[in-house]
Amino acid sequence: MFERPDTTEAIAAVAAPMALVADLPLLGNGGGDDDGEAKPVSIAEAWERVRRRLRAELGEDVFSSWFARVEIGAIVDGVAYLTVPTRFLKSWLEAHYAERLRVNCMAELPGLNGIVLSVRQVARETAPAVVRETAAPLRLRSASAAPAASPVAQKPVETQAGSTLEADLVDACGTLLDRRMSFASFIVGKSNQLAFAAAERIAAAPAGQTPYNPLYIHAGVGLGKTHLLQAVAQEARRHGKRVAYFTADRFMYGFVAALKAQTALAFKEKLRGIDLLVVDDVQFIQGRSIQQEFGHTINALIDAGKQIVVAGDRLANDLEALDERIRSRLGGGLVVEVGDLDEELRGKIIGARLASLQATHANFHVNADVVAYVARVVATNGRDLDGAANRLLAHATLSGQPVTLETAEAAIRDLVRTREPRRVKIEEIQKLVASRYNVSRADILSERRTAAVVKPRQIAMYLAKALTPRSLPEIGRRFGGRDHTTVLHAVRKIEKAITEDRSLHDEVDLLKRMLQE
C-alpha cells in the first residue's frame, strides 16, 4: 500500500529529489579547480553544452531546424523535462532524434537516466486573471493525441470551470477540454462499444457512486481513447460533479510546479477534493516521486469513494516503467480495450467526417463508392481517416473538379502507400518468444542463465531492437532491468548466429512475420 504523506515534513521528503531545476547548480563534468574539486555548473550552462554538442554533431542547418527551440524546464528524479513550441516538433524529435538527444543530455547532465519532451503552453488572451497572476513557472501545454473516432477535427477550446477548485486545477496543470469531443460525436462500433457504455455510465452516475472503479481503457494510437476520456470529463461536469482532467505530462508538470511554488500541500488537497479524476496517457508518468504522489492520489480517491478513469496504450500490467502498486490498482478495476477499427466502423467515421466538411463547403460532394473505397484502403486509425478527408477536400477545392473514385485514388495515394505496419510491442515479443520456446515470460525477465532461457531471451531482445523504436537502455529495462550492454551483446550474438545457422534464420524470420501480421 502507498503511505500517504500527511505532514509538511513528508512533503519536503518527497520534494527533496526534485531539487534540480533550471536555476540551481549541479556538479560539472568539464574539469575542476586547481585543488581537484569539480566546479558547480548550473543546469542552464549544462544545457548550453548539450546544444553545442548537437550543433557540432548535426551541423548548423539540422540544429537550427529541429533543436534551436528546445528548452530545458527541470530535472526530476534523474529525468530531464524538455519543452518545444509545437506538437509537430515534439513528434519529429521523438521519431528521429530521441536517442541522440538522450545520449547528449546524459553526457552533460550528471545522474541523468532519461528525457521527456512536452509542448510548451502558450499564454492566451482569454485566460482567466487567476491563471495569468498565479500560473506556475513551468507553463507547458499538453500534447495529448487527437481522437480517432471523432467526425470533426480537434480544436482546443477553453473549459468553463464550474468551481474555484476546477479553476485552480486548470491553473496548476493547464489541460483544456475540447467541447466537440463529446459522447454525441463519438462513433460507436464493435471495437469500442464496451468502453463507450462504461464511460457513459460513469459520467451519468451521481457523485459518490462509482460503478467501475477504477476504469482503465487501453488502446493503440488514434483509436479514440482520448475522445472517450474528454467526453467523460465534460458529461460529468454537466451533471454537477467536480472533475479534474489531466494528461500525464500535465500531471507531472503541475506537481513539479506546485513544489517550486511551495504550494504542494494545497495542490494535493484540492486534487483529493474532486469527484472524478481523469488521466490520459498514464504510460508517460515518470519519476519516482511523481509516481508516488500519483499513487497516493489514486489510493486517497478510491478510499474516499471517488471515481477514477485512466487511459494507457497497453494493459496496465504491461506498463513496466510504472510503479507495480499503481499497475495493481489500475488492473483491479474494470479494464477495457478499444480494439482496431473494422471496415464498417471506418466507413461510419469517414462518412461523418466528410458530412461535416460538406456542411461548410457547399460545392464539396463525395459519393458513397468513394466513402467505401477510403474506408477499405485506409485501415490504420482515425487520424489517417481525417487525413484522407482533408486530402479529398483539398483536391476538390483546389482543382475545382468533382471527387470521383479515380481522383480519390490519386488524392490519398501517398497516405495509403506510406501507411505504417502494425506497431509491435515489447510485451508481445516476450510473450510470443516465450510460447515458442516453452518457457514463461517471467523466465525471460528473470536472472536465470540456463541455455533453455538464455537463447529465447536473446532472440526476444534482438526482435525488440529490430521491430520497435525503443533504445537499448529502454529494452534493457523492459527485460528485468538489464544494462544496455547486455542487450547489445544479445543483439550482436543473434545477428551473427542467423548468418551462420539457416534454421535459426528461418525461425527468427517466422517470429518477425507473426509479430507484424
Instruction: Considering the domain delimited by 8-120, tell me its CATH architecture.
Output: 2-Layer Sandwich (3.30)
pLDDT given at position 335:
92
Q: Worst-scoring range by mean pLDDT, 230-234, 411-415, 469-473?
A: 411-415
Three-state SS for 160?
coil
Beta strands 140-141 and 114-120, pairing class: antiparallel
pLDDT of 172 > 70? The answer is no
> pLDDT of 378-430, one tens digit each?
877 788 888 888 888 888 888 777 888 888 887 787 767 544 556 788 998 99
C-alpha 106/C-alpha 324 separation (Å) is 26
Cα maximum dimension of the chain? 80
What are the domain boundaries of the chain?
8-120, 129-337, 343-417, 426-516
pLDDT given at position 308:
92
Q: What are phi and psi of 135, to 5 degrees?
A: -60, 145
Q: Worst-scoring range by mean pLDDT, 157-171, 352-366, 474-488?
A: 157-171
pLDDT given at position 454:
92
- Give 342-348 contacts, CB < 8 A, sequence gap 24+: 342/189, 342/190, 342/191, 343/375, 343/376, 343/379, 344/189, 344/190, 345/149, 345/187, 345/189, 345/190, 345/191, 345/192, 346/374, 346/375, 346/378, 346/379, 346/385, 347/371, 347/372, 347/375, 348/187, 348/189
Please tell me the CATH superfamily of domain 426-516, with its number.
DnaA protein, C-terminal DNA-binding domain (1.10.1750.10)
Who wins on pLDDT, 505 or 414?
505
pLDDT given at position 10:
35
pLDDT given at position 14:
34
Confidence bin at 102 (pLDDT 50/70/90): confident
Grid cell, residue 512, equals: 518477425
pLDDT of 459 > 90? The answer is yes
Tell me what the mean pLDDT of segment 252-268 comes to.
76
Q: Worst-scoring range by mean pLDDT, 15-24, 374-383, 437-446?
A: 15-24
> pLDDT of 266-281, one tens digit each?
777 777 788 899 999 8
Q: Worst-scoring range by mean pLDDT, 7-21, 71-85, 173-187, 482-496?
A: 7-21
Residue 325 in contact with residue 1, Cβ under 8 Å? yes
Distance separating the N- and C-terminal Cα atoms of the chain: 40
Alpha-carbon Rg for the chain, nearest whole angstrom, is: 24
Who wins on pLDDT, 234 or 4?
234
pLDDT given at position 35:
46
pLDDT given at position 15:
36
DSSP code, position 366: B
pLDDT given at position 397:
81
Residue 148 in contact with residue 382, Cβ under 8 Å? yes
Tell me what the mean pLDDT of segment 240-245 comes to.
88
Grid cell, residue 199, equals: 464511460
Assign 3-state DSSP to the chain and report helix, strand, coil percentages, each to 5: 55, 10, 35
C-alpha 296/C-alpha 501 separation (Å) is 52
Grid cell 513550441 in the structure block, residue: 85
Confidence bin at 311 (pLDDT 50/70/90): very high
Three-state SS for 455?
helix
Q: Which CATH class is domain 343-417?
A: mainly alpha
DSSP code, position 225: H
pLDDT of 52 > 60? The answer is yes
Grid cell 462499444 in the structure block, residue: 193
Tell me what the mean pLDDT of segment 52-80 comes to.
84
Beta strands 215-218 and 307-312, pairing class: parallel
Residue 365 in contact with residue 329, Cβ under 8 Å? no
Q: What is the mean pLDDT of the chain?
A: 77
Please tell me the CATH superfamily of domain 129-337, with its number.
P-loop containing nucleotide triphosphate hydrolases (3.40.50.300)
Q: Which residues pair with 80 in a beta bridge?
A: 75, 115
Who wins on pLDDT, 10 or 358?
358
Q: Report the candidate in 160, 150, 310, 149 with the shortest Cα–Cα distance to residue 234.
A: 160
* Whole-number Cα distances in Å, 488 to 94, 349, 433, 462, 479: 21, 44, 18, 9, 13
Q: How many CA atoms lie within 13 A of 489 on its CB side?
A: 9
The model's pTM: 0.54
Who wins on pLDDT, 195 or 64?
195
pLDDT of 439 > 60? The answer is yes
pLDDT of 468 > 50? The answer is yes
